[in-house]
Structure 1
Amino acid sequence: MHIRRSEKMLSWAVLTAVVLIVLIPLSWAVLTSLKSEANVMAYPPTFFPTEPSLSAYKAVFRNQTFGSDLFNSVFYAVGAVALAVLLSAPAGYAASRFEFRGKRAVMLLILSTSMIPGVALLVPTYFLLDALGLLNNAAVIIVVQAARLVPQTVWFMQNFVDAVPRELDEATQVDGANHWQTFTRVILPLVRPGIAASAVIGMITTWNDYITVAAFAPEVAHRTLQVALVNQVFDSIGITWSYVMAYAVVSSLPIVAIFVLAQRWFISGLTAGAVKG
């Protein structure tokens, strides 16, 4: 009994430490965004603002390119995730239900492509797109980002489909359904939590992707919130930290909202392997 209580206390201590490690920097960013620039640069530094103000947030929303940056972030993220799921769901079903020679090798090959650092492909991809005149092309950005999501999503979808009993497939096929009908009418509704989990992970990955857009869409009209945020740090007139922190908070809110709204489905998707037949 004493050992269990000690283990429980240790677990709570570790969890509390992890939460503090995460929350303290976030709290510092939010509180900094509420400070005046003089308050930010004051020495010794203060954790709480002396006179809280929303002026930095007003400046963010008044930025001329904020609306287009936000639209591009949403457009790229939704487009890439939709394309990745559209390609990965049938592939995951095929990987789960069909047997063919070299299946394991093919799946390992698909997974291995996700292990290649994006930076390693940056230069050759840039020269290829430049030669084809496809820089600053929204469709290309979506395809490139989706290509990075597909390998991992295929593996996720295979595991989600594996959790669905094969007897359901057999029952529908006895009734005359083909594989496509079985997939669309039976499998897809059952793996929706898994699709939601994959979509949330893909949205977070794509939303935070800086290097792809910065390299392949250098024009201001095609940049995203993440690119605009980094540009604030390299501004020639200097860094306004309260503005930068406000921009960071605002650019994080959409993805936080998506995670909160899809939290139930996300957790269900991650535990899809526990589904019983």
Structure 2
Amino acid sequence: MTLSLFSFPSPPSLFANAMSIFNLLALITSGYMELIGKNKQYAKFCDNDDTGSNKPKAKEKLKLPSRIGMLVFYTPSFLVGLASFTFFPHQDCRFLMVISVLTIHFFKRILEVLFVHKFTGSMMLKDAITIGLSYGVSTATMIYAQYLSQECPEPAFDLKYIGVVMFFIGITGNFYHHYILSSLRKKGDREYKIPKGGLFNVVICPHYMFEIVEFVGVCCICQTGCTFCFTLGTMFLLMGRSYATRKWYVSKFGCKFGKDVKALIPYLF
């Protein structure tokens, strides 16, 4: 009963409801795999997979340059968001806000890949495709569920404007810490360094923390069960990834890495 005050009813769509549960379980599973060390092979984890190994490979693994792989991550979702402005008629204010913030999120990611991030390594082709498809399907499902909810009564508590504020706080904080990370490396530098500045002094993944704030904002704008499932799953995934990232920094830098620097939440986790 309490949830009905804050969210639209479940859409009359077996597909949308099934995909919501599937996305939640898939993201929780991915977060658990990160937690136990079975990491998706991109960024530092892919580089780590290749270093110091003289063992013959049973078969050559298909890889992409990291920049291309990251574009594979985000471009399908951006195109889904962009196409939604045309494909869905009779758009109300909330629906326009939803597709706008999702499109902005992935467009910002593409711009960062092209102009902000510095890449030195590669990533597994299968991981790039898997993650790109996952983002694309999740984005399409959230937009479709929102479209169906337009015919339902509005929730008693309208959170969409609070959501807009949280979204822009999250996307700004995420960009700021991505910029700090990109500034660590000079041209031609391939070595990882311990990030400093911003909230890196208290958590090793403040960019993930702000991404969670961003998607909580999206969840408040949408107020659908589908987006709630995606946001909750994303929290579990980023908790697992940030834990694995902190563990990687400790293994690489040892006592140079501050023991009080947490993974994701200042002073707690």
TM-score (norm 2): 0.30
TM-score (norm 1): 0.30
Q: Select the structure of larger CA radius of gyration.
A: 1
